[in-house]
Structure 1
Amino acid sequence: MSDYLWIFLGGGLGSMSRFGLGSILNKNFGEAFPFATLGSNLISSIVLGVLIGFLIIHPQGNNNLKLLIGVGFCGGFSTFSTFTLENFELLQAGIASTALLYTAISIVLCLLGMWLGFALSKSF
């Protein structure tokens, strides 16, 4: 199968998953704080950490897995552009403290998520 097809399949699944997660989180927690984007970026960081760790431990790892999950799914599921837009909107609304908190939480949690995923990959 073509590399582009693996990326297309993973990206479609990631985008649909992000939409579903966003719908659930926004319904349950509201939209005052961007939990949906934070959640999708955190989950994507964990998944990417597991994948990277798996591919380091198993260097003969399948390139298609990297394309499907790493480039496709994680690329479609995570979203830096929405993160940026939400911060811009928070700043425009005059709540810079929430924008700063959101940025700090996102960076710290996503780095910890990547580390956690990488650590989990050692159990495979």
Structure 2
Amino acid sequence: MTDMLLVAAGGAAGSVARYLLSLVPAPGPWPAMTLLMNLAGAVLIGIVAGLAPARLSPQATLLLKTGLCGGFTTFSTFSLETVTLWQQGHTGLACLYAATSVVLCVAGVLVGQAVAGSLARG
């Protein structure tokens, strides 16, 4: 139960931070704040993963990595998993995972929009 509360607290903080940053106006059509959030989340999860388990307790790791970073951006988890595969010598698999994730998730948005359009039409 404590683990779930840690994830929930971190997730709430990450989600609120993401929302607040989304309020910052960005000029033009380039989604600069989303890119900034994804980059910040990737840097943060890299720091947390680099410090755990030698310097962070399992609870702090759970709060920060799964909770805060997960609430802020799941792109950070995707990035960490890709780098982990690469660092373990699975370069081809890391590239395949990255490409597959991007293609399938973009396609998923398109499918979701199509489903929503069908539902809206009744």
Match of 1:36 in 2: 33
**For the structure 1 residues 67 and 31, does the alpha-carbon distance in structure 2 shift closer, same or farther, using more than 3 Å as the test?**
farther
Residue 51 of structure 2: SS of its match in structure 1? helix
The CA deviation at 1:30 is: 3.5
Match of 1:6 in 2: 6
Q: 1:66 aligns with which of 56, 61, 64?
A: 61
Q: Extract structure 1 runs of 4+ deviating beyond 2 A.
A: none
The CA deviation at 1:11 is: 0.2
The CA deviation at 1:34 is: 1.3
Question: Which TM-score applies when normalising by structure 1?
Answer: 0.56
In structure 2, distance between residues paired with 1:79 and 1:2: 22
The CA deviation at 1:10 is: 0.2
Question: Which TM-score applies when normalising by structure 2?
Answer: 0.57
Match of 1:15 in 2: 15
Q: Does 1:77 align with 2:72?
A: yes
The one-letter amino acid of 1:16's match is V
Q: Which has the higher contact order (CA 8 A, sep 6+)?
A: 1
Match of 1:45 in 2: 42
The one-letter amino acid of 1:20's match is L
- Percent identity among equivalent residues? 31
Whether the 8 Å CA contact 1:11–1:76 is kept in 2: the answer is yes
Whether the 8 Å CA contact 1:51–1:66 is kept in 2: the answer is yes
Q: Which structure is larger by alpha-carbon Rg, 1 or 2?
A: 2
Instruction: Give unpaired runs (5+ residues) of structure 1.
Output: 90-124
The CA deviation at 1:17 is: 0.2
Q: RMSD across aligned C-alpha pairs, in angstroms?
A: 2.4
Match of 1:96 in 2: none
